[in-house]
Structure formats: structure tokens, C-alpha cells
Amino acid sequence: MRTGEAALVDPGDEAPKILKRLEALHTPQGAPIRVKYLLQTHGHLDHIGASRSVKEGRPEAPRILLHRGDEPLYLNLLEQGRIFGLSYDSPLPLDGYLEDGQDLRVGDLKLSVIHTPGHSPGSVCLRLHEDSSAGTSETLYSGDTLFQGSVGRTDLWGADQDQMFSSIKRRILTLDDDTLVCPGHGPDTRVGVEKRSNPFLT
Ligand SMILES: [Zn+2]
Ligand SMILES: [Zn+2]
């Protein structure tokens, strides 16, 4: 926010509400913010459904990014919607891919991409590292891979339960216990709390 550059994670629905909220955001100097990226943790409809409208509704046309493994899901948005009786406009082409180990700069923030396949082939978590006068803090946007007290479902296209548990154990539970976890659904949690008390992981 200091620099006015922003990224939006998982624009799933309610594009008008998202656009209105973005228009209301300003830097401390009163300049409008600039949305650099629309970051999609994976290709399910509830995480990508508003990407087209948000991109088209913003003058800076933020870049739509996704892991390559979920591109088939992304391109199949209309079919995903049909299953739930929902209609969508066809998705815009991706502007680039999210890759394991990639660092994205947004203003003075750094977001690192962690590929965590299992819930879907191209599921990723996004790790945000912040330095401030209050110290450093880590936040993990975990998509539908890890929730408070639960884990992602693995009964959908391309999912793999063993792979998901391996992703969680090797790539998420190895992060600092204090890391704040912001899942794609439900309340926030901490890595240490899930390590100790998530019934699917203990
Ligand atoms: Zn999902
Ligand atoms: Zn979801």
C-alpha cells in the first residue's frame, strides 16, 4: 500500500464488489492503487470466476497468473460452471505462469510461489514476507490445500490425496510455526496450530 502497487489473490466471484473496493483504495498520498497481478492459487471456478471481469474493469489490466498444471481447469471454466448450473464468460488467456520458487515483487513486498500439488495438479501457496518496524511476519495464502482444522478435497479432476499430504508436510508444515495461514475458505490459522491440532495431520 505504501507504493500503491497491489496484487489480488483468487478473484472467485462478485467482481463488481471487488472493483468497487479497489477503487476505494488509495496510497497515503491519495494516489489510486495499481493492481499488478491477479494471482490464482488454482483453477477451480470459485478461485478464478471473477478474473476476467476484474481485469477488464481495471485500467491497468492486471496480469492473470496461474500454475501451468491447472491451465486445463482454467480453460474449462464454462464446463466447471455447467456442473454447478452457473454461467461464466469464457476466461481470458493467461498472462503468465506461477512456478515453484518464483518470487513476485509487488511494491516493496515479496511473494514467493510454493507449488503444492494434490488438491489439483497446479495448486500453489503464496508466501508473503513482510518487514516492518514491528518486525518481520510471514503469511501463507494456502488456497484449498490447507484449512483451519481441515485439508483440501481430493475427489475432483486431477486431484491426488497422497500428493496433497506430501505437499502439506514437506512444503507447509516446515514453515515457521508463527506463519499466518489464510485459506481459500474459512478462518485464518497458524502453521504451528495446524501441526499440533489438525485431525488430518496428527
Ligand atoms: Zn479448489
Ligand atoms: Zn475453493
Nearest to 200, CA basis, from 189, 10, 180: 189
Give the phi and the psi of residue 46 in degrees, each rounded to 5.
-75, 5
**What residues have a C-beta under 5 A from ligand 1, the ion?**
44, 144
Q: Is 179 within a domain?
A: yes
Distance (angstroms) between ligand 1 centre and the Cα of 30 equals 36
For the chain, how many structural domains are there in total? 1
Q: Is 202 within a domain?
A: no
DSSP for the chain reads --SSEEEEE---S-HHHHHHHHHH-B-TTSPBPEEEEEE-SS--HHHHTTHHHHHHHSTT-PEEEEEGGGHHHHHTHHHHHHHTT---PPPPPPSEEE-TT-EEEETTEEEEEEE-TTSSTT-EEEEEEEEETTEEEEEEEEETTEETTEE----STT--HHHHHHHIIIIITTS-TT-EEEESSS--EEHHHHHHH-TTT-
Ligand sitting nearest the alpha carbon of 80: 1
Q: Is 106 within a domain?
A: yes
Distance (angstroms) between ligand 1 centre and the Cα of 57 equals 25
Report the CATH number that the domain containing residue 193 is assigned in CATH.
3.60.15.10
Distance (angstroms) between ligand 1 centre and the Cα of 43 equals 7
Tens of pLDDT, residues 49-88: 999 999 999 999 999 999 999 999 999 999 999 999 999 9
pTM for the model stands at 0.95
Q: Is 21 within a domain?
A: yes
User: Which domain covers residue 68, as residue numbers?
Assistant: 5-197
Q: Is 192 within a domain?
A: yes
Ligand sitting nearest the alpha carbon of 184: 2
Q: Is 59 within a domain?
A: yes
Distance (angstroms) between ligand 1 centre and the Cα of 154 equals 9
Q: Is 151 within a domain?
A: yes
Q: How confident is the model at residue 1 (pLDDT cuts 50, 70, 90)?
A: low
Tens of pLDDT, residues 82-123: 999 999 999 999 999 999 999 999 998 999 999 999 999 999
Q: Is 163 within a domain?
A: yes
